[in-house]
Structure 1
Amino acid sequence: MKRKIKMIGMDLDGTLLTTKKELLPYTREILRKAIDQGVVVLAATGRALSGVPQELLEFPGMRYVVTANGARIIDQQSENMILYEKLLPLEKANQLLDVFRKYDTLLEVYFDGRGYVSREHLNKLSHYVPDPYMVNYISRTRTSVDDLEALIQEKQAPMDKVQALFYDLKERQTVLDEIEQWNDVSVAHALAMNIEVNAGGVNKGSAMLRLGEMLGIRREEIMACGDGNNDLDMLKTVGFAVAMKNAESSVKAAADYITGTNDEQGVAKAIEHFVLR
């Protein structure tokens, strides 16, 4: 059954992109048809702007992008003008980093749409990330520095988000249990080994609704597709929620419809089935 959809927000990793981080021809064609039909189509990702594939940033008609789990809404057609942002205060970020440093972690900090990691940790990325395609993506999109703490002291600014990649999943769970009790941050995890933290109240769902308000699009006219924990609020918030077949069980439970996997181009299939005339 066709639905009255005016906006579609799509997670990237595990959702729009294949395991190899590719955007396949059928998916490109369906996105193009939706845009030609007047639908606002955008990436809604945990990635910083510098991590969004250039193919999507340059995709004809794809004007907006939600980055850093909803911390920023960006208008690409206006020289990447920031339409909205809510950043993690520096003091809170440092408190989180102090917790993460107690464990075997790779730390990432995000300033102004770019992720930073120490060169030492980036050189042993596979210690923390078993997926070679994810290793390749992170290696290509992060800026390495000699001293991450020195960078933080130099910038003295709030952050888009902070992220930790854990070697030991039990240690990750210990930290997750602790910081989920903090009442002034938003905690999510898109991967089995990571924890990512934003300012309180930040999530992809609130960003999608905010953009909808700017464009005169109602909640019930917004569709979103996702697979991971950082997509959960988005799927619970929008009018029509699509989970990938490869999604976490909690994400599937929140969905109105379960489509194929990301490697089966499930996003495109859902759009063709429910949106295209």
Structure 2
Amino acid sequence: MQELSEYRFSTIVSSDEGYVYAGTFGQGILRMSLNGSWQVCSEGLPADVTIYRLQRMGTEIYAATEKGLFMLHNNKWQSAGLEIPCYHIVDSCNTFAMTRCGLMYSDEGEWMPFAYPNRSCYDFLMTPQFLFIALSSGIAYYDMLTGSWDEFAFQHAVTSIAVFRKSLIGVLADGSMVIGNKKGGFITVAFEGMFIYKLATYKGNVFACSNNGLFKIVMLQDRLILQSLGIHCAVTDLVFAETHMLIATLNQGILKNLLEVE
């Protein structure tokens, strides 16, 4: 196996058994055992496939890839019934998949279109009143009280969304961010020299993974600020433990941040 720093990591997740899985851009999936050693765990995956997102759902681990959706079973990956590019999967009342053909849901193992079948769907967020999806054309939302869809259009695809201080925030495909202005619209926020890849949430905090490192999103005098967490390399994803984070990077392997996570 290559050195960890030779892998271009794209995503990371932990299992309920304590294993850690890390996906890559075209180099398969690695697994960290309980003793901290890493092994290749790519059996059953197409060769050179890009792993967009690893996701734990209950006791199962899923891999959303450019060649479809896969599920880990007995240390081997098998198709989960979707053979189109899949970017993310979540379990929220139903099992939803974000794909090149819109938002889909699983009906007794069969995947069915749910919304926006002619657009790529990248992320999903459910609140008590709304369902938000990140699309190639903007952010769409479903109002559960009225049963209707509406949409905010942007010039770039929205690839990641989260809620920060009761406002919806998103990452655009050009590396900038949008944040709800609480007046029915959004403002765009860009940071010079920084390309934000995705957002991650933990215990009410929101973190930004970027080409310049890992940052915690904070608000200072009504301005959105990125607070550095001391990781100064390209960060693509992170997974949280009780006292630390494991951080997936593009060229520095998997890092462990021992700072207290609150």
Indicate whether the TM-score tops 0.5.
Answer: no
Q: Which has the higher helix share?
A: 1
Q: Which has the higher strand share?
A: 2
